[in-house]
Structure 1
Amino acid sequence: MTTIDLGRPVSGDVVELILDDHRRFETLLRDLRDSSTDRDAVRQAFATLHVAHAEAEEKHVYPKLRRKQAVGEHEAEHGKEEHAEGHEALLAVLELKGTDTQAFEDAVEELARVVNHHLTEEELTILNPAREEVGERVRAELGEAFARERNAQVDAGCGSLENVRRIVAEAAREGLLDDED
């Protein structure tokens, strides 16, 4: 478990909860680049948040937005692919022994590239339609479901190296990590 505060929302507009996590990812990435931080604690916190956030979105948010026709199948599937790519880049960071090497910095750079691309794309192609086409009540219900799943994942230690390895292997089997779009 990590001492870094990942927040523990219980309710709210799902769009705002997701955006709060996006800002946390940006802060954690900044901390991963900072050699004066406890990079090991930061990468563990990042792993936990990344897995919990992705699992909650894929289990609750994407399917509901598809049913509400706020997003199409392509956007939801692409979001899953980008989560898988993020997990794969995260695994590379987690598997490195030291945090003061060029290999670590290169892996962090790749993680930041993949995650920042996803955050931007998700905010434009999934969160904007969710704001515009899904009512407040549904966004609040979705916020509760998202928060409940996210917190359960955090409590279960979802960011462990073993779990991230399992998720990446599963994504590879499902064809989510193929290089062509």
Structure 2
Amino acid sequence: MTTIPRPTQGDVVELILDDHRFFERLLRDLRDATADRSEARATLAAVLIAHGEAEEEMVYPQLRRKDAIDQHEQEHGEEEHAEGNQALLDLLECKGTDTQKFDDAVEKLAEALNHHIGEEEQTILNPARTEVGEQVRHDLGGRWLARRSELLDDDCGSITSVKKIVARAEREGLVSDEGS
């Protein structure tokens, strides 16, 4: 499996941006017929779930407390994570990696992920840069990374885990179950 970067400290904004660039690289691999698409899919599933779940647990609430983001921005970020997780589940459920269904699922995930990355970088990470002090961002980075690593160690990107996360999002009204 592609090695998932596992830093242990840093500014949470920069660390999240690093993951975003990693997601983009994995999406390119998923589009590349000569790449190991199964490996790229498994790697993306693991890091995407760990990243998003740790953000929702550690980062968004802290940014709300610091008034860097409001409730709407937090909820919108969580809704976009849920949409991405649904698209990820659709990709994980594809049997092969050389089918039109797989290619379509990659594009659906890429669309959801690229939209979320753009919005998050503008409406959540920019305010975090300007409204939250450097030490707080560094401390938050360490806590976020620790939670992200725990989730990675727990095989959070497995199809079973992703199904549970999507089902929870459906129960919470973050996504409809009609799209699956």
Question: Shorter-chain TM-score: what band?
Answer: over 0.9
Q: Deviations over 1:16-63 (max 9, x none)?
A: 000000000000000000011111111000000110000110000000
Could you say which residue in structure 1 is the equivalent of 2:62? 64
Could you say which residue in structure 2 is the equivalent of 1:160? 158
For residue 149 of structure 1, report the CA deviation from its aligned partner.
Answer: 0.5
Work out the CA distance in 1 between the residues paired with 2:97 and 2:115.
24
Could you say which residue in structure 1 is the equivalent of 2:4? 6
Extract unaligned runs of 5+ from structure 2: none
For residue 137 of structure 1, report the CA deviation from its aligned partner.
Answer: 0.5
Work out the CA distance in 1 between the residues paired with 2:53 and 2:167.
15
Could you say which residue in structure 2 is the equivalent of 1:42? 40
Work out the CA distance in 2 between the residues paired with 1:152 and 1:82.
22
Q: Provide the secondary structure at the position in 1 that maps to 2:88.
A: helix
Extract unaligned runs of 5+ from structure 1: none
Matched-pair identity in %? 60
- After the TM superposition, list the runs of 4 or more consecutive aligned residues in structure 1 that deviate by more than 3 angstroms: none
1:56-135 map, 5 Å: 56-135=54-133
Is the counterpart of residue 150 in structure 1 residue 148 in structure 2?
Answer: yes
Could you say which residue in structure 1 is the equivalent of 2:50? 52
Q: Deviations over 1:125-177 (max 9, x none)?
A: 00000000000010001000010001111111100000000100110010001
For residue 5 of structure 1, report the CA deviation from its aligned partner.
Answer: 1.4
Work out the CA distance in 1 between the residues paired with 2:152 and 2:18.
16
Equivalences, count: 177
For residue 178 of structure 1, report the CA deviation from its aligned partner.
Answer: 4.2
Work out the CA distance in 2 between the residues paired with 1:161 and 1:11.
29
Work out the CA distance in 1 between the residues paired with 2:176 and 2:168.
13
1:175 to 173, 176, 179: 173
Work out the CA distance in 2 between the residues paired with 1:45 and 1:168.
18
Work out the CA distance in 1 between the residues paired with 2:163 and 2:114.
22
Whichever residue aligns with residue 16 of structure 1, its letter is E
CA RMSD of aligned residues (A): 0.9
Whichever residue aligns with residue 118 of structure 1, its letter is H
Work out the CA distance in 2 between the residues paired with 1:59 and 1:17.
16
